[in-house]
């Protein structure tokens, strides 16, 4: 049984023989998603669905409250905002990152047309439990989170480690996924995916790590990196908890296990991911070599690939405007 923080709404409007609630921004951040439908049945008739959507979509990356939902004894932290209607975009994070690691320029733009869900997997940031050491187990937690929210259809945006989980989620729960957006990631057993250059010690200098790994050495790329770092600080209140060292160590074990070349059938499961897929990669990615994007687009039956110039692991943030145009085109008409 799933539970979520819920508070009762004040009953403020009386009509004939019944009193009905009025939704305001002061209340809606405390309402569990599964409660909204029930409460809607009691809303005053002249409060239109458009009014309700306006309240729900009024949040931004910077202002949306952190909420919690529980399943299987694990309390998952998440943030949900944007335009309701249609499958939401579930955003899965990269190594050593939490919900604050997403670029507000990207998430706010996506939220203009779609509902966006940011999510800390088990043991990460504000979520409870322990971080698993395999992608398969991380995916199990992701599915449990989706089940707790009652999600029946989603698009998944998976960045790096999140892209590995997205692939496994598409394999394990194909009917849940509508479309995949894979950023800076690679297939199981991909080329050079040993990640020997990564360590949990990256936490000691996160700015240096992001500027060095996400952006190339060119002045243009580094300038984009500094702008990106500034945007990451735009959320002032209700910031996520940092990723613990034990969680980072477990994540590293998981991505190294994913990168191990299997004895047989190296890319055999990719043919089973038939969902429309947009692959985005930097042409100079030093974390996940660009050859892995080519492997994905070669073996996924319904994929397209976009490669951005003079960019490394954070290509979608360096070329944010172009990336958003590509995503809009990819998602147009699919809801």
Q: What CATH number did the domain enclosing 245 receive?
A: 3.40.50.1820
**Residue 62 belongs to some domain of the structure:** no
Does the pLDDT of residue 82 top 90, yes or no? yes
pLDDT for 198 equals 76
Same domain, 39 and 146: no
pLDDT for 54 equals 58
pLDDT mean across residues, the chain = 87
Same domain, 71 and 210: yes
Q: Which residues contact 236 (CB under 8 A, 6 or more apart)?
A: 62
**Residue 293 belongs to some domain of the structure:** yes
Mean pLDDT within 75-80: 98
Same domain, 147 and 49: no
Give me the half-sphere count of Cα atoms (radius 13 Å) on the Cβ side of residue 223: 4
**Residue 170 belongs to some domain of the structure:** yes
Does the pLDDT of residue 11 top 90, yes or no? no
- Reduced to 3 states (helix: H, G, I; strand: E, B; else coil), residue 41 is coil
**Residue 133 belongs to some domain of the structure:** yes
Give me the half-sphere count of Cα atoms (radius 13 Å) on the Cβ side of residue 101: 25
Same domain, 79 and 139: yes
Same domain, 38 and 149: no
Structural domains counted in the chain = 2
Give the domain extent around 216.
67-331
Same domain, 43 and 129: no
- Under DSSP, the state recorded for 263 is S
**Residue 273 belongs to some domain of the structure:** yes
Distance in angstroms (rounded) separating the CA atoms of residues 150 and 172: 17
Same domain, 93 and 49: no
Mean pLDDT within 293-297: 98
Does the pLDDT of residue 35 top 70, yes or no? no
Q: Where are the alpha helices (DSSP H) in the chain?
A: 25-28, 33-40, 49-56, 104-111, 135-149, 161-172, 206-214, 219-232, 245-259, 291-299, 315-318, 320-331
Same domain, 16 and 151: no
Q: Is 42 left (phi over 0), alpha (psi -120 to 50) or beta?
A: alpha
**Residue 262 belongs to some domain of the structure:** yes
Same domain, 110 and 205: yes
Range with the lowest mean pLDDT among 104-113, 193-202, 255-264?
Answer: 193-202
Most confident of 27-41, 194-208, 213-227: 213-227
Same domain, 143 and 270: yes
pLDDT for 217 equals 97
Instruction: Quick: pLDDT tens for 148-194.
Output: 999 999 999 999 999 999 999 999 999 999 999 999 999 999 999 98
């Amino acid at each position: 049984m799933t539970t979520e923080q819920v508070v009762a709404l004040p009953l403020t409007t009386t009509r004939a023989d019944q009193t009905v609630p009025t939704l305001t921004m002061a209340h809606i951040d405390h309402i569990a998603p599964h409660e909204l439908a029930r409460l809607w049945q009691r809303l005053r008739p002249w409060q239109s669905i458009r009014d309700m959507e306006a309240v729900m979509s009024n949040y931004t990356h910077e202002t949306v409250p952190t909420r919690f939902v529980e399943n299987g004894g694990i309390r998952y932290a998440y943030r949900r905002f944007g335009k309701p209607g249609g499958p939401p975009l579930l955003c899965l994070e990269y190594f050593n990152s939490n919900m604050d690691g997403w670029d507000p320029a990207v998430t706010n733009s996506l939220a203009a047309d779609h509902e966006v869900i940011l999510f800390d997997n088990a043991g990460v940031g504000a979520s409870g439990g322990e971080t698993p050491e395999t992608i398969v187990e991380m995916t199990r937690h992701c599915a449990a989170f989706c089940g707790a929210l009652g999600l029946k259809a989603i698009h998944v945006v998976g960045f790096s480690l999140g892209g590995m989980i997205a692939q496994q989620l598409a394999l394990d729960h194909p009917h849940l996924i509508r479309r995949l957006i894979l950023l800076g990631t690679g297939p199981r057993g991909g080329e050079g995916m040993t990640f020997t250059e990564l360590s949990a010690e990256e936490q000691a200098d996160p700015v240096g790590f992001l500027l060095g790994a996400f952006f190339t050495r060119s002045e243009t790329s580094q300038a984009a990196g500094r702008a990106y770092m500034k945007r990451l600080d735009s959320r002032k209140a209700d910031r996520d908890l940092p990723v613990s060292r034990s969680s980072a160590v477990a994540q590293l074990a998981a991505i190294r296990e994913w990168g191990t070349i299997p004895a047989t059938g190296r890319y055999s499961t990719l043919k089973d991911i038939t969902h429309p897929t947009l692959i985005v990669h930097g042409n100079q990615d030093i974390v996940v070599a660009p050859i892995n994007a080519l492997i994905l687009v070669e073996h996924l039956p319904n994929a397209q690939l976009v490669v951005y110039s003079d960019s490394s692991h954070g290509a979608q943030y360096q070329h944010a405007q172009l990336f958003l145009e590509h995503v809009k085109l990819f998602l147009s008409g699919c809801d």
